[in-house]
């Protein structure tokens, strides 16, 4: 079960050969606490999403052997947490701050396995944007890809052309670090690679 409405996280799971039995997004307060670091915020929110999902009726119907996955991604410039841009002004503020500078993306995956065993992994990825021109900013704002995205950009879209350096997890920046997700599932006894054996071969 995936506690997210994000089509990008679902696509990432499917790329790893995993299809959730249920998509059940959770609604929590994502406001950072006073003096909370970006990493701590990402870890806390992923855990709260998983715990909230555990209480939902549709998830309970899956029974005690369900595996619940939740994730959260935070974009930060130093200790400054950047918002999920909902307005043009917010997006411009975020992109102007990131222009020509390095920033960090903290992506946490949380797994609640049968027996309510919780485990988490947080991945830190460093990115550096090129210096953005007025044309870059105007064109990207017009694309609307930034809307609802942490830091005001989506690396799986046009914003990838702004990235001069990425050190860490590309899938984590998109929203779900695949290596860590699969590692948690394997460790909890989920047959991750069974679907690879039974699935038809695909051309790469």
CATH of domain 7-198: 3.90.950.10
Report the C-alpha gap between 141 and 150 in whole angstroms. Answer: 14
**Joined tokens for residue 195:** 């679907």
Whether residue 41 has pLDDT greater than 80: yes
Whether residue 202 has pLDDT greater than 80: no
Whether residue 5 has pLDDT greater than 80: no
Length reported for the chain = 204
Could you tell me the residue ranges of all domains in the chain? 7-198
pTM of the model: 0.91
Residue 169, CB-side half-sphere exposure with 13 Å CA sphere = 22
Instruction: Point out the least confidently predicted range of 16-25, 40-49, 157-166.
Output: 16-25
Contacts of residue 36, Cβ cutoff 8 Å, sequence gap at least 6? 44
Check: CB of residue 180 under 8 Å from CB of residue 109. Answer: yes
Whether residue 65 has pLDDT greater than 70: yes
Residue 201's pLDDT band (boundaries 50, 70, 90)? low
The average confidence (pLDDT) of the chain is: 92
pLDDT, greater one: 67 or 21: 67
| 59-71: average pLDDT | 88
Whether residue 198 has pLDDT greater than 70: no
Check: CB of residue 41 under 8 Å from CB of residue 108. Answer: no
pLDDT, greater one: 182 or 60: 182
**String of b and e for 53-71 (b: at least 16 CB within 10 Å)?**
bbebeebeeeeeebbbbbb
CA pseudo-torsion sign 27, 85, 73, 43: negative
Given the residues 72, 89, 93, 136, the one annotated as active site: 72
Short-list 8, 79, 69, CA closest to 37 = 79
Residue 73: the pLDDT is: 96
Radius of gyration from C-alpha coordinates of the chain: 18
Check: CB of residue 165 under 8 Å from CB of residue 102. Answer: yes
The predicted-structure confidence for 175-185, as pLDDT tens digits, reads as follows 999 999 999 99
Residue 1: the pLDDT is: 75
Whether residue 203 has pLDDT greater than 60: no
Instruction: Point out the least confidently predicted range of 98-107, 114-123, 170-179, 194-203.
Output: 194-203
27 in catalytic set: no
Q: What percent of the chain has pLDDT over 90?
A: 75
Task: Write the DSSP assignment of 162-185 as a string of letters.
Answer: GEEEEES-HHHHHT--HHHHHHHH
The predicted-structure confidence for 73-110, as pLDDT tens digits, reads as follows 999 999 999 999 999 999 999 999 999 999 999 999 99
Residue 194: the pLDDT is: 80
């Amino acid at each position: 079960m995936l506690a997210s409405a994000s089509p990008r996280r679902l696509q990432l799971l499917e790329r790893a050969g995993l299809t959730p039995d249920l998509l059940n997004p959770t609604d929590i307060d994502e406001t950072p606490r006073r003096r909370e670091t970006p990493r701590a915020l990402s870890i806390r929110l992923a855990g709260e999403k998983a715990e909230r999902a555990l209480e939902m009726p549709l998830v309970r119907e899956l029974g005690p052997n369900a595996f619940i996955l939740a994730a959260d991604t935070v974009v930060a410039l130093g200790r400054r947490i950047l918002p999920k841009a909902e307005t043009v002004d917010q997006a411009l503020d975020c992109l102007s701050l990131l222009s020509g500078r390095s920033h960090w993306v903290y992506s946490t995956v949380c797994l609640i396995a049968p027996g309510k065993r919780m485990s988490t992994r947080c991945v830190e990825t460093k990115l550096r944007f090129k210096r953005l021109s007025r044309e870059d900013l105007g064109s990207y704002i017009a694309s609307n890809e930034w809307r609802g995205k942490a830091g005001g950009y989506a690396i799986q879209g046009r914003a990838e052309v702004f990235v001069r350096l990425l050190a860490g997890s590309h899938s984590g920046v998109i929203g779900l670090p695949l290596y860590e997700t699969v590692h948690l599932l394997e460790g909890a006894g989920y047959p991750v690679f069974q679907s690879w054996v039974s699935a038809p071969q695909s051309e790469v």
